[in-house]
Structure 1
């Protein structure tokens, strides 16, 4: 196994999922036989990343039940401020005690194995995975500049016209951070949260990239989906999950 800590951000309240989100954390929603989190943990392990931490908040007891019954190796860390602080605070909770490389993941994702293999392909370089256009709704667009032979993160936004040039791709939700990047983010993160309690982790990564290059490897045809609402869940089940199953079978 690789010496990489996987950190899942799973504290969010899932407001846009309506009743389903009130009853179930998004990471514990399922399309196949297993929850999103279990599927992700299996895919990580298949790619050599076997050490997983989950930052909980909303309905944390359900993650505790999962760990007790089916996933005893999960390292659970609770963010008690999940209702009043944003995802950057959850990331800082997840990074507590860590100074080595970490793989940051959003918990409401389904993705094929290439996602993991691509984002950790260069262990010496931090990397934020991007895909081609998905048309899934609620996309986060990523802009990147050429630096030392690689496209490196400049900015991220849901506004596609935030910059005059065409975005490099769409944020997938898997980001690899070297040990240096982890230590730097732990230094700058608290001040960002102090200035804006609801700061999201994406802005934390953009701030990190100002002084620590974050490459943006792209898989144009990646099979993946984020699930923020019922329409996105239906799309994930009908259009994306079959492609993921096919990719696993190859």
Structure 2
């Protein structure tokens, strides 16, 4: 069991001096506690009994910290201004007498990072992660057996980049001794050598394993951009993960929302009771509104208006609030386009239903002809981005171009695309966008929202209200004035949404869509091998939800199949096409391609059961 840890803390932290002030950067505080102190406490909780800190700039800060933690011993590098991290580590050679953990002082990380190294079967291990894209990264190249080949900040020096260095390493005493012998002469000429370069040198004569973690929350804080990322995303993520009291039984939801959520989102709902009219809660609502807007638009010009309700509430709020006596075109190529037509009917709006086949791409030439030859100026056009009926991804950028050409306001139902498929409202000429908390945001159901230009929302004031609860302008104006929703919001769902947004920011829209796409590809390859067919051509597919033609067996029954999968921890969804028997599989939420592989294996067994008869299936 490793009992010693070494923290390299001699650096001057020039790039973040304005924030760290007269302290080393390891003393940047989160919840009024220095980040190096979090590291020290995690090391002690992991069983470390001796912590050596290589100090330099403002070393007295660490000497003061030593009074609080007697396990600390500080070793001062008087040449800290002209030497690199390897020089500081070399100075510790007379203080290290056993295997140890090596850490940088400017790290925020979850405690599992230490557990991974402390329990690892390999002796010398570098901890690495997926790419953070935060800048100033050290990239790692590994061999076919995951042994260290090279690591550097310069990508061009690497043949294959496998991961990013975290800054926590496990080293045996013998490897450290070899390292010191190796660099002794080198340091005389290369005093600015970093410890990473020294590890690369020693890896040429001794194997150093690289453990690549795909789901490790961490960050380095080297500059103000790093600090903002740490404050806004990483620290809240770590805090949430490390306060999960127990794992919740996992159900894999393959329905198109609500989606499978993380335990941290679930537990975010467990908060002290609070009146939603308190200023503290209003600040949370304001933060959520701003962050939702940032995902698709510039919050200096656009804003998000929140409603308690399903996604349909947001769509209905738009259609009922912004359409006056003008004419609106509603594109209907699935159940959710049809739903918008029903909303228009209820409010007796003057609308044209543009019907398009459910599994074919919208014909833009015909759509333009409809616009041009309308007997009345078309003021609005409504379209579903990802039609959840089939998985069709409608070409909203091209439709937005048409709307711009004819000065039409475009309304987009983005329920199944928001927070997965990249959207730029200005570039795509989207006037109003509707989405909800419970699909790709991976939050809980119960909050819907509308994103639009603030200037555009102000113009809605002159349209006579058709609804009290769903009146968009009143909701917008009241929130701008009070940071509150007009009627009681779903408080716990709001807290879950805040956590879900933090996790969305951490993963990033493009990486989330990559994860979804990999699950979708696994699904498509799997069903094709089983002889099943999906409806929408791959070129026009959203890679979010897939409509699959039902198996052609006399003993097939969707609800029996549903119950079979439910007994295995999976939820599947019925189709929505009247003339064709289908079922739907979504690949959104907190799932991976591994879950989809398991689903395909179960589907294979189920189909074999249909082929073999009831007795085979029961076996």
TMscore range, shorter length = over 0.9
Instruction: Give 1:130-141 correspondences, 5 Å limit.
Output: 130-141=128-139
Structure ID, larger Rg:
2
**Structure 1 residue aligned with 2:120, among 105, 122, 129?**
122
Written as runs of structure 1 = structure 2, the 5 A alignment for 1:13-92 is 13-21=12-20, 23-68=22-67, 70-92=68-90
Q: Which moved more, 1:121-130 or 1:215-224?
A: 121-130
Does residue 239 of the first structure (1) align with residue 233 of the second (2)? yes
How far residue 119 of structure 1 moved from its aligned partner, in angstroms, is 1.9
Question: Do the aligned partners of 2:103 and 2:167 also contact (CA within 8 Å) in 1?
Answer: yes
Deviation at 1:122, TM superposition (A): 2.7
Which consecutive unaligned segments of at least 5 residues does structure 2 have? 245-619
Q: Cα RMSD between the aligned structures?
A: 1.5
> How far apart are the structure 2 equivalents of 1:197 and 1:22?
27
CA distance in 2 between counterparts of 1:236 and 1:78 reads 28
Whether the aligned pair in 1 keeps the contact of 2:151 and 2:158 (CA below 8 Å) is no
Contact 1:101 1:178 in 2 (8 A): yes
- Alpha-carbon displacement from aligned partner over 1:29-73 (angstroms, at most 9, x marks no partner): 1112321111001111222223211111000111111222x2232
1:157-196 equivalence runs, <5 A: 157-165=152-160, 167-196=161-190
Tell me: higher relative CO, structure 1 or 2? Use CA pairs within 8 A at least 6 residues apart.
Answer: 1
Alpha-carbon distance between aligned partners in 2 of 1:187 and 1:219, rounded to the nearest angstrom: 31
Which residue number in structure 2 is paired with residue 228 of structure 1?
222
| Alignment partner, residue 140 of structure 2 | 142
> What are the Cα deviations for residues 151-200 of structure 1, in whole angstroms up to 9, with x where unaligned?
111111112232232x1110000011012111111211212211211111
Q: Report the 3-state secondary structure (helix = DSSP H, G, I; strand = E; otherwise coil) of the residue aligned with 2:44.
A: helix
Contact kept in structure 1, 2:141 and 2:159, CA below 8 Å: no
After TM superposition, give the deviation of residue 97 of structure 1 in Å.
Answer: 3.1
Q: Report the TM-score when normalising by structure 1.
A: 0.92
Where structure 1 has 5 or more consecutive residues not aligned to the other structure, the ranges are none
**8 Å CA contact 1:55, 1:76 repeated in 2:** yes
Preserved contact between residue 123 and residue 178 of structure 1 (Cα < 8 Å): no
**Number of residue equivalences:** 244
Q: Is the 8 A contact 1:99 1:183 kept in 2?
A: no
Q: What's the offset of the Cα at 1:22? A: 5.0
Distance 2:114 2:81 in 1: 30
In 1, Cα distance between equivalents of 2:50 and 2:99: 11
**In 2, distance between residues paired with 1:210 and 1:160?**
20
